[in-house]
Each structure stands twice: as structure tokens, then as C-alpha cells.
Amino acid sequence: MFWTRVKHSLDMIKFEHSVFALPFALTGAALAFRESRLGITQNVWTLVWIVVAMVSARSAAMAFNRLIDADIDARNPRTRTRHLPAGLLSAGFAWIFVAASVVIFLTAAGALNSLCLKLAPVALAIIFFYSYTKRFTSLSHLVLGFSLGMAPAAAWIAVRGSLDWRILLLTAAVMFWTAGFDIIYSCQDFEFDQSAGLFSLPARIGLAPALIVSRLFHLMMIVTLTALAAAFHLGLLSLAGIVAVALLLIYEQSLVRPTDFSRVNAAFFTMNGWVSVLFFVFWAADILFLRR
């Protein structure tokens, strides 16, 4: 029974979707290794703790979001079959899952360095705050983006023990990328969000204008990635990675129209998985193997 509930919990938070943000966190770590002139083999445990911290923080945030939104999910035809509204998991067990994830996250942060541990409560406050934002602001998509965008900056701090303004360009890139695809995803709930008085961007300004904003956010991702490559004096492989990301985002945007969201899952899950993985492959090759 216990392990069944654990399985339901991992399914509830879409544990496999950690792949969306994890490659960007690892890119932040790779950039920090490069600046420190250290190889990954010299910092294996640092890398392990970064992965543990990132995955546990995301797990805590997702489970918390499901708890806070349980009443909304129960009223939404698209989400009423989720684990909490459907009764597959109890709220009590979900809170235990959140608490366990938080403990693991704080343990990982403490194992990295003192600054990571000091900033860990701030990171938790931000990612938990996101769950309330769509109740009062259309900027909720950017708040979600920033929550994921903190990961590469946090990975940098984990390696270097301090913050460098350049890594914030990667934070911005992830923020714009996430906000862009979250707007696409939220278009599915356009009518429900309007009737429930929620502040998703599509519900506030309409489907067609919201998709335009999504495209602008994805354009800003490409701009900030280019600035990041220039700031770190990276080479052709990093630029090739940016081109690959741009092409994938163009295709992702082509999958949805204001009158047709039948392919939204392909746009949201498949394309974004490829964006993060291909980006990391190109940038890791440039950063770690083409040393200057």
C-alpha cells in the first residue's frame, strides 16, 4: 500500500519531467566547472548533490502545487481525474511527500556549501509561492519560469560558492522558455480559467494574443542564450545548440493555433524534452570538451 502511494505520488508530480529543467541545471554546473578549471571527475559528489537538490526541490514544488490546486482541479473537467481529486492519494500523504522532499532538498543544499543552505529557504519560498499566483496575476507564467530558471544559477553557486551575473542570463533563458510553453499549455483551460476567475494569460487577453506573447518569450530565450554564449566566450557548438533550440521552438509553436490545440501534448512534452536535452548535448560538448 505504501509503495503504491509512492508510485502514485511520483506519477502525480510527473517525476519523469524533471528532464525539462535538469539539463539546464547541469549546464550551469558545467559552466562553473569550466570557470574553476575543474573537471567533472574532480567534483562527482558535487554533481550528484546538485541533481538530488534539483529533483527534490521540483518534487516538493509539484506536490505542493497539486495540494494547493486540488479544489480547482476537482472543478476542471481536464484535471478532475488527477490523483488528489480522484481520491487516489490523500492530502495527508501528499503533505508527507512534500515534507520528505523538502528534507532531502535541504540535506543536499547543506552538503553542497553554506551559501546553498542559506539560500535554500528562499528558493523554497519562491517555488511554493508560484502555486498561488494564478489566483491574482497573469505573470504566473513568468513566476513559474523563474522557479525553474533558478536551477542553473543554484548549480553555479553549488560549484563556485558565489554568484556571477553571467549565469543569470541562463536563468532568464529558462524563465522565458518555461513561460512560453506554460502559456501554450494553459490555453487548454481557457474557458475554465475565465469562468473560475483565474488569471492565466489566455484567460485575460485571449488565445491568439497569448500565443503571440508565447512566441515573443521564446524569441527572448534565443536572445538571452546568444548573450550567454558571448559572455562566456563559447564556440561554434554552443551556437549550433542555439540554432537547434530555435528550430525546435519554431516547430513547437507551429503545432498549436488559436483554433486547434489537439497537438498541445506533443508541443508541451515531446518538443520541450528535446529542447532541453539537445541544448545540453551541444553546450556540454562545447564547455567541457573544447577547452580554450
Q: Which residues are CB-contacts of 241 (< 8 A; sequence separation ≥ 6)?
A: 278, 279, 281, 282, 283, 286
- Tens-place pLDDT, residues 129-158: 999 999 999 999 999 999 999 999 999 999
10 pLDDT more than 70: no
- Tens-place pLDDT, residues 205-223: 999 999 999 999 999 999 9
6 pLDDT more than 80: no
How far apart are the C-alpha atoms of 201 and 183, rounded to whole Å? 7
Q: What is the residue-averaged pLDDT of the chain? A: 91
Candidates 72, 8, 21; CA nearest to 280 is 21
One-letter amino acid of 281: V
Candidates 17, 78, 83; CA nearest to 261 is 78
Distances from the Cα of 185 to the Cα of 180, 204, 226, 256, 272, angstroms: 9, 15, 26, 10, 12
The total of other beta-carbon atoms located within 10 Å of residue 35's CB is 16
Mean pLDDT, to the nearest integer, of 27-31?
A: 94
Per-residue confidence (pLDDT) for residue 5, from 0 to 100: 65
Q: What pLDDT band is residue 16 in, cutting at 50, 70 and 90?
A: low
Mean pLDDT, to the nearest integer, of 253-261?
A: 90
Fold annotation for 2-289:
Tetracycline Repressor; domain 2 (1.10.357)
Per-residue confidence (pLDDT) for residue 195, from 0 to 100: 95
Q: Which of 5-14, 111-120, 271-280 has the highest mean pLDDT?
A: 111-120
Phi, psi for residue 257 in degrees, rounded to 5: -140, 160
Candidates 187, 190, 234, 247; CA nearest to 214 is 187
1 pLDDT more than 70: no
- Tens-place pLDDT, residues 38-76: 666 567 899 999 999 999 999 999 999 999 999 999 999
Annotate 222-238 with DSSP letters as a single string: HHHHHHHHHHTT--HHH
191 pLDDT more than 90: yes
Per-residue confidence (pLDDT) for residue 43, from 0 to 100: 78
292 pLDDT more than 60: no
Mean pLDDT, to the nearest integer, of 222-234?
A: 97
On whether the CB atoms of residues 37 and 81 are closer than 8 A, the answer is no
Per-residue confidence (pLDDT) for residue 87, from 0 to 100: 86
Candidates 20, 39, 15, 18; CA nearest to 29 is 39
How far apart are the C-alpha atoms of 124 and 231, rounded to whole Å? 29
246 pLDDT more than 90: yes
Mean pLDDT, to the nearest integer, of 92-119?
A: 96
How far apart are the C-alpha atoms of 141 and 5, rounded to whole Å? 30
Per-residue confidence (pLDDT) for residue 226, from 0 to 100: 98
Q: Which residues are CB-contacts of 38 (< 8 A; sequence separation ≥ 6)?
A: 159
